[in-house]
Chain A
Amino acid sequence: MSAPADATASRVPAGPMARFFRRLGEGRDNSLGLLAILIVLVVVLSFVSPYFLTATNLLNIGRGIAIVGIVAVGETIVIIAGGFDLSVGSVMAASGMIAGFLVTHGAPLPAAFAAALAVGALVGFINGAIISYARINPLIATLATLAIIRGLGYVISGGRELVISDEAFLTFGVGQVFGVPYIVILLVATFAVFAWLMPRTLFGRYAYAIGSSAKAAQRAGVPVSRWRIVYYVTCGLLSALAGLVFVARTGNAQPSAALGIELDVITAVILGGTSLTGGRGRLWGTFIGLLLLGVVNNGLILVGVPAFWQQVVKGTILLVAVLYDELRRNRVEEA
Chain B
Amino acid sequence: MPQPLLELTGVSKTFGPVTALDRVDMQIGAAEAVGLIGDNGAGKSTLVKILSGLYPPTTGSMRFDGRAVHFGSPFEARAAGIEMIYQDLALCGDLDVAANVFLGRERKKSFGPIRLLDRTTMREDARRVMRELGTDIAPERIVGGLSGGQRQLVAVARALQFQPRLLLLDEPTAALSSEKIRVLMGLIEQLKARGVSILMISHRFTDILHVCDRIVVVRQGRIAGELAPHAQPPERTMAAMHAMMTGDALGVSA
Contacts and interface: CB of A to CB of B under 8 A. Distances in A.
A201 B116 contact: yes
B84 interface: yes
Contacts of B94: 208, 211-212, 279-280
Given A205-B117, A279-B92, A217 B104 contact: yes
Contacts of A201: 114-117
A205 B95 CA distance: 9
Interface in B53-110: 54, 73-75, 78, 84, 86, 89-95, 99, 103-106, 108
Given A215-B90, A222-B104, A200 B84 contact: no
B74 A332 contact: no
Interface stretch (B140-148, B194-202, B233-241): B140-148
A205 B99 contact: yes
A335 B145 contact: yes
A220 B95 contact: no
Interface residues of B, number: 32
A332 B93 CA distance: 11
Interface string A196-212: 00011110010011011
Contacts of A221: 73-75, 78, 103-105
Interface in B186-212: none
A212 B74 contact: no
Contacts of B73: 221, 223
A213 interface: yes
A14 interface: yes
A26 interface: yes
A209 B108 CA distance: 17
B156 to A, nearest CB: 14
A221 B74 CA distance: 5
Nearest to B84: A219
Nearest to B79: A221
Contacts of A332: 144-145
Given A208-B95, A212-B92, A332-B144, A200 B104 contact: no
Interface string A211-244: 1110111111111000000000000000000000
B8 interface: no
B111 to A, nearest CB: 8
B174 interface: no
B140 A19 contact: yes
B138 interface: yes
Contacts of B99: 205, 208-209
Contacts of A13: 140
Nearest to B136: A12
A209 B144 contact: no
Interface string B124-167: 00000000000000101010110000000000001000000000
Which 7 pairs show the lowest CB-CB distances between chains A and B?
A: A221-B75, A279-B94, A221-B104, A220-B104, A212-B94, A212-B92, A220-B103
Interface of A: 12-14, 19, 22-23, 26, 28, 199-202, 205, 208-209, 211-213, 215-223, 279-280, 332-333, 335
Given A14-B140, A213-B92, A216-B91, 13 more contacts: A202-B108, A202-B117, A209-B103, A211-B94, A213-B93, A217-B104, A219-B52, A219-B54, A219-B74, A221-B78, A222-B75, A279-B94, A332-B145
